[in-house]
């Protein structure tokens, strides 16, 4: 029940199985089904319920052992430490959770705002609902440009052609029509009355009933088996790599501390607690949260610029992007296309050309195109005498569309498309409206010449042709588009966009090389680029690319910045070539012809008004078709990566150095350098001080060039700054022991205050590569860091000090604190300068 084979069952049987009466579902029924079948996503985005997430964090082995050990110590009478451990674990878990969830919710809301919708019959009306909410049994109305929202059977279809390339790899349009029951089949080529999720409607319209949704669809299964999800980005890999690095160091330190304590016959429970607290201090447990929150903050800021980030990892990639491939229409031009003339083969205005163009645009049922709209709005013509018999829909390989029409006396195949392609199929031309002449080489050259000449003036040109057909001809096929009679040209103007000019310059100065990839011809593209002041350094056409080997293309990649007459697979080929050359590549496009390149790009960008397939594939959706916001997105992406890097640099140098010193101190001190609860408190305060990092500003010159994730830099930084920080700690130990003659409690108190202050305040050094006082931090971050350092220093003087085993240090200690922390910061500043001057730049 409610689970039908998609094809091959009689429709009435299928509808019965899907419990559908053919009039659509009620909202209540749909809600029930949605609970049962789950959201309609090919690969479900799973988010565990809150209690599972909380539990998951407590089930972290480190936390578990810690809780276990503190329970043991509670049993031996140390109740206070037990309560403190419990409170702290609880606090840090909830802090982390709340932040992370809020960030995820914000991003989900953004994603929903650009969700692909489809028209569904519900409660007797036809609302457009997000695809995710559809269920088996829903009846949907589809038109050209739509994505097929699930596996479904056709109820009605008119001139329906789809593209199933995502499923079968075949780029050509496939016709679908309603048929009687045939043998059950899952063979996509044979299933002509079935639409599959992941395909898109090229032309015509249809009504269909959904049989399978989400992961149950053929596409869903393909996806989960083929892992069609994009591979992890270098950023994600880098974060993971950093996590493993820290993990290894932690295991090493913990084992070291335990061994030392066992050798010195120290109490084992205390030693275990101390080692565990060290491990907690070392683990960058806030890392996932900081990453999500930083990326989400960037995404929210971009939303204010009307750029929607659908996939958070796109944020990093766009910051690293150094090549942006873009289409022409709408990005470089206004995309308000106007037809200006309709001329015959002699260049004279021709009513017949207009009429033929009008017939073609009027009757073709493909994806609404600005060119067709321009023809139809040129001047209203009466075509009521004509009826359409059939059509061969537009596709980007043929670059033409044909309709078969009749007015009772004539039957014509009317063709409109790219001049080169239409002329290749033409054998005659319409000389002066009456006589039809053979298209001899001279005439062909003259007509093509005219086309090139028009292009140089910035005019977009479509060729109009026709072919008289027999009345026995009742359907149009691809093969009919030969022996055409060339009628003339329709000429269009698509003026350059004034804002594109500054946007192109902004991108260039941000170190992003812009490449124009268009399906349009060379002359028009040249004209637009020249008008915009975009210097063409090299140009390759589709035909040239076709003949080019991979090596030849690679050799020319750097020099070329305009690619014309590209078919969709060629766009993808160029994009992949840049990717393989080690560039981080973005692709901006709005049509179904851009979808595969958008999918293959490191950063797929489309516009909200673009085709559904493109929106589905993109990581970034622009609400306004505007190149200048891309430059904003680039900056925002760079900023987020820089801020995440700050967090990691902090953790890997200062925090790590401190934990390392503590392990070392365990060697020679007769008592633990800090009590386990103090280590945990230290860690909690340190974490809290970093909560402002996602808000921080980044130096303008750091943002000036693409920012790539650089694990080597981080490791080098760690190796240089960590030991320096540790050396300083040992100096502090010496002063505490020999100047202040500190006993256990005072030593621990002094070291707690000192290590917290150095760890927290070093953010002011690390957050900029330059002289730290020249770069202004975000006020919240600055207040948090300074406030927590002061709080830590005053804590031993407060009434709650005994809870943590603190004693009030002498006044001289505070003088020492101020001096030593200042010295530490000055030293770190100097080291940082040396590091970025000599080590980071030498690679």
Q: Is the Cα dihedral 813, 819, 822, 823 positive or negative? A: negative
By CB under 6 A, name the one of 122, 400, 638, 832 that touches ligand ATP.
400
Per this entry, what is the length of the chain?
Answer: 843
Q: Which residue, 155 or 613, is less far from Mg ion as judged by CB?
A: 613
The β-bridge relationship of strands 484-493 and 338-344 is antiparallel
Q: Does 591 bind ligand ATP (CB under 6 A)?
A: yes
Q: Could you tell me where the beta strands, DSSP code E, fall in 348-473?
A: 387-395, 400-406, 411-417, 426-430, 436-438, 459-468
Q: Which residue, 564 or 746, is less far from Mg ion as judged by CB?
A: 564
- Write out the two tokens for 27: 């909202």
Cβ count within 10 A of residue 311? 18
Give me the least distance between CB of 527 and ligand ATP, in Å please. Answer: 13
Binding mask 557-596 for Mg ion (x = CB under 5 A): ----------------------------------x-----
The β-bridge relationship of strands 603-607 and 620-622 is parallel
Q: Which residue, 417 or 496, is less far from ligand ATP as judged by CB?
A: 417
Binding mask 439-478 for ligand ATP (x = CB under 6 A): -----------------------x----------------
Helix/strand/coil for 741: coil
Among 399, 416, 442, smallest CA distance to 342 is for: 416
Choices 395-403, 473-481, 610-618, 757-765; region in contact with ligand ATP by CB under 6 A: 395-403
Q: Does 327 bind Mg ion (CB under 5 A)?
A: yes
Residue 400's binding partner out of ligand ATP, Mg ion, none, with CB under 5 to 8 Å set by partner kind: ligand ATP
Give me the least distance between CB of 405 and ligand ATP, in Å please. Answer: 15
Helix, strand, coil tally for the chain in percent (to 5): 50, 15, 30
Choices 58-66, 252-260, 337-345, 398-406; region in contact with ligand ATP by CB under 6 A: 398-406
Q: Which residue, 70 or 593, is less far from Mg ion as judged by CB?
A: 593
Q: Does 572 bind ligand ATP (CB under 6 A)?
A: no
- For residue 283, the 8-state DSSP code is S
Cβ count within 10 A of residue 232? 12
Distance CA 330, CA 371 (A): 13
Number of residues that bind ligand ATP (CB under 6 A): 19
Give me the least distance between CB of 205 and ligand ATP, in Å please. Answer: 17
Distance CA 570, CA 576 (A): 10
Choices 156-164, 242-250, 326-334, 505-513; region in contact with ligand ATP by CB under 6 A: 326-334
Would you say 677 and 743 are in contact if contact means Cβ atoms under 8 Å apart?
no
The β-bridge relationship of strands 513-517 and 323-326 is parallel
Q: Could you tell me where the beta strands, DSSP code E, fall in 213-309?
A: 307-309
Catalytic residue from among 270, 327, 372, 395: 327
Distance CA 793, CA 797 (A): 8
Q: Which residue, 146 or 372, is less far from ligand ATP as judged by CB?
A: 372
**Residues 6 or more apart in contact with residue 250 via CB below 8 angstroms:** 278, 279, 282, 283
Helix/strand/coil for 772: helix
Q: Which residue, 96 or 327, is less far from Mg ion as judged by CB?
A: 327
By CB under 6 A, name the one of 405, 418, 577, 621 that touches ligand ATP.
418
Binding mask 285-324 for Mg ion (x = CB under 5 A): ----------------------------------------
Output the CA torsion 813→818→821→823 (10° steps). -110
Residue 372's binding partner out of ligand ATP, Mg ion, none, with CB under 5 to 8 Å set by partner kind: ligand ATP
Question: How many C-alpha atoms does 393 have within 13 Å on its Cβ side?
Answer: 24
- C-alpha R_g of the chain: 34
Binding mask 480-519 for ligand ATP (x = CB under 6 A): --------------------------------------xx
Per-residue CA distances from 346 to 342, 354, 693 (Å): 11, 15, 68
Q: Does 140 bind ligand ATP (CB under 6 A)?
A: no
By CB under 6 A, name the one of 139, 272, 289, 401 that touches ligand ATP.
401
Closest residue to ligand ATP, Cβ-based?
Answer: 519
Residue 660's binding partner out of ligand ATP, Mg ion, none, with CB under 5 to 8 Å set by partner kind: none
Choices 137-145, 202-210, 397-405, 596-604; region in contact with ligand ATP by CB under 6 A: 397-405
Residue 651's binding partner out of Mg ion, ligand ATP, none, with CB under 5 to 8 Å set by partner kind: none
Q: Which residue, 518 or 652, is less far from ligand ATP as judged by CB?
A: 518
Q: Which residue, 451 or 728, is less far from ligand ATP as judged by CB?
A: 451
- For residue 125, the 8-state DSSP code is B
Residue 520's binding partner out of ligand ATP, Mg ion, none, with CB under 5 to 8 Å set by partner kind: ligand ATP
- Write out the two tokens for 115: 């969700």
Q: Which residue, 403 or 762, is less far from ligand ATP as judged by CB?
A: 403
By CB under 6 A, name the one of 593, 725, 758, 759 that touches ligand ATP.
593
Q: Which residue, 327 or 616, is less far from Mg ion as judged by CB?
A: 327
327 noted as active-site residue: yes
Long-range pairs for 60-64: beta carbons < 8 A, 24 or more residues apart: 60/285, 62/276, 62/279, 62/280, 62/283, 63/89, 63/93, 63/280
- For 363-386, letters b (16+ CB in 10 Å) and e give bbbbbebbbbebbeebeeeeeeeb
Q: Does 610 bind Mg ion (CB under 5 A)?
A: no
Q: Is 760 exposed, middle or buried (0-12, 13-18, 19+ CB in 10 A)?
A: buried
Report, as residue numbers or ranges, the catalytic residues: 327
Residues that bind ligand ATP (CB under 6 A): 327-329, 369, 371-372, 394, 399-401, 416-418, 462, 518-520, 591, 593
């Amino acid at each position: 029940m409610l689970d039908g084979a998609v094809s091959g069952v009689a429709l009435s049987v299928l509808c019965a199985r899907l419990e559908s009466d053919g009039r659509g579902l009620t909202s209540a029924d749909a809600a029930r089904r949605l609970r049962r079948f789950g959201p309609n996503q090919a690969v479900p985005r799973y988010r565990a319920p809150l209690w599972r997430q909380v539990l998951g964090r407590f089930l972290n082995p480190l936390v578990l052992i810690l809780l276990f050990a503190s329970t043991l110590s509670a049993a031996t009478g140390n109740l206070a430490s037990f309560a403190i451990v419990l409170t702290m674990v609880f606090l840090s878990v909830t802090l982390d959770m709340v932040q992370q969830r809020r960030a995820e919710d914000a991003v989900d809301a953004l994603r929903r705002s650009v969700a692909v919708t489809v028209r569904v019959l519900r409660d007797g009306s036809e609302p457009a609902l997000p695809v995710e909410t559809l269920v088996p049994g829903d009846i949907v109305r589809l038109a050209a440009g739509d994505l097929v929202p699930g596996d479904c059977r056709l109820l009605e279809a008119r001139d329906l052609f789809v593209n199933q390339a995502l499923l079968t790899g075949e780029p050509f349009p496939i016709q679908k029509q309603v048929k009687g029951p045939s043998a059950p089949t899952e063979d996509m080529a044979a299933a002509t009355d079935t639409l599959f999720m992941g395909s898109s409607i090229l032309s015509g319209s249809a009504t269909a009933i959904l049989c399978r949704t989400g992961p149950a669809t053929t596409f869903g299964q393909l996806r989960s088996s083929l892992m069609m999800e994009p591979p992890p980005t270098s950023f994600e890999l880098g974060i993971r790599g950093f996590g493993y690095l820290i993990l290894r160091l932690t295991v090493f330190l913990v084992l070291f501390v335990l061994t030392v304590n066992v050798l010195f016959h120290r109490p084992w429970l205390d030693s275990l607690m101390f080692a565990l607290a060290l491990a907690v201090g070392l683990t960058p447990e806030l890392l996932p949260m900081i990453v999500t929150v930083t990326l989400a903050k960037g995404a929210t800021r971009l939303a204010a610029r009307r750029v929607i980030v659908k996939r958070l990892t796109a944020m990093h990639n766009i910051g690293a992007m150094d090549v942006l491939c873009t289409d022409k229409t709408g990005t470089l031009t206004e995309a308000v296309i106007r037809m200006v003339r309709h001329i015959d083969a002699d260049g004279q205005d021709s009513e017949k050309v207009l009429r033929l163009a009008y017939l073609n645009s009027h009757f073709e049922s493909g994806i609404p195109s600005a060119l067709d709209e321009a023809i139809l709005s040129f001047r209203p013509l009466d075509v009521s005498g004509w009826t359409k018999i059939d059509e061969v829909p537009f596709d980007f390989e043929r670059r033409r569309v044909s309709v078969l029409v009749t007015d009772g006396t004539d039957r014509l195949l009317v063709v409109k498309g790219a001049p080169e392609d239409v002329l290749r199929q033409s054998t005659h031309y319409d000389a002066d409206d009456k006589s039809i002449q053979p298209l001899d080489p001279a005439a062909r050259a003259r007509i093509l010449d005219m086309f090139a000449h028009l292009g140089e003036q910035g005019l977009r040109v479509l060729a109009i042709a026709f072919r008289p057909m027999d009345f026995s001809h009742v359907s149009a096929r691809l093969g009919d588009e030969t022996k055409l009679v060339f009628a003339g040209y329709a000429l269009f103007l698509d003026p350059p966009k004034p804002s594109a000019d500054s946007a192109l310059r902004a991108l260039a100065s941000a170190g992003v090389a812009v490449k124009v990839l268009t399906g349009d011809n060379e002359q028009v593209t040249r004209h637009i680029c020249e008008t915009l002041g975009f210097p063409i350094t090299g140009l390759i056409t589709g035909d040239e690319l076709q003949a080019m080997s991979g090596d030849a293309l690679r050799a020319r990649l750097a020099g070329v910045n305009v690619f014309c007459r590209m078919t969709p697979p060629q766009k993808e080929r160029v994009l992949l070539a840049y990717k393989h050359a080690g560039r981080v590549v973005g692709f901006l496009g709005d049509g179904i012809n851009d979808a595969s390149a958008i999918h293959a790009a490191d950063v797929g960008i489309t516009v909200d008004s673009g085709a559904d397939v493109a929106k589905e594939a993109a990581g970034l959706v622009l609400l306004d078709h505007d190149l200048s916001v891309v430059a904003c997105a680039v900056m925002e992406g760079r900023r987020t990566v820089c801020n995440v890097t700050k967090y990691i640099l902090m953790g890997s140098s200062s925090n790590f150095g401190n934990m390392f010193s503590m392990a070392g101190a365990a060697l020679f001190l007769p008592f633990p350098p800090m009590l386990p609860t103090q280590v945990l408190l230290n860690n909690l305060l340190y974490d809290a001080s970093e909560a402002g990092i996602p808000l921080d500003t980044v130096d303008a010159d750091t943002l000036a060039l693409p920012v790539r994730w650089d694990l080597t830099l981080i490791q080098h930084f760690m190796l240089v700054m960590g030991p320096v920080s540790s050396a300083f700690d040992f100096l502090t130990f010496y002063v505490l022991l020999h100047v202040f003659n500190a006993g256990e409690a005072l030593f621990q108190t002094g070291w707690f205050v000192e290590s917290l202050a150095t760890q927290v305040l070093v953010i002011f050094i690390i957050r900029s590569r330059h002289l730290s006082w020249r770069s202004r931090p975000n006020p919240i971050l600055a207040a948090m860091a300074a406030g927590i350092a002061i709080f830590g220093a005053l804590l031993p003087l407060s009434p709650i000090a005994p809870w943590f085993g603190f004693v009030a240090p002498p006044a001289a200690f505070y003088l020492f604190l101020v001096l030593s922390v200042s010295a530490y910061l000055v030293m770190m500043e100097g080291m940082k300068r040396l590091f970025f001057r000599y080590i980071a730049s030498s690679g």
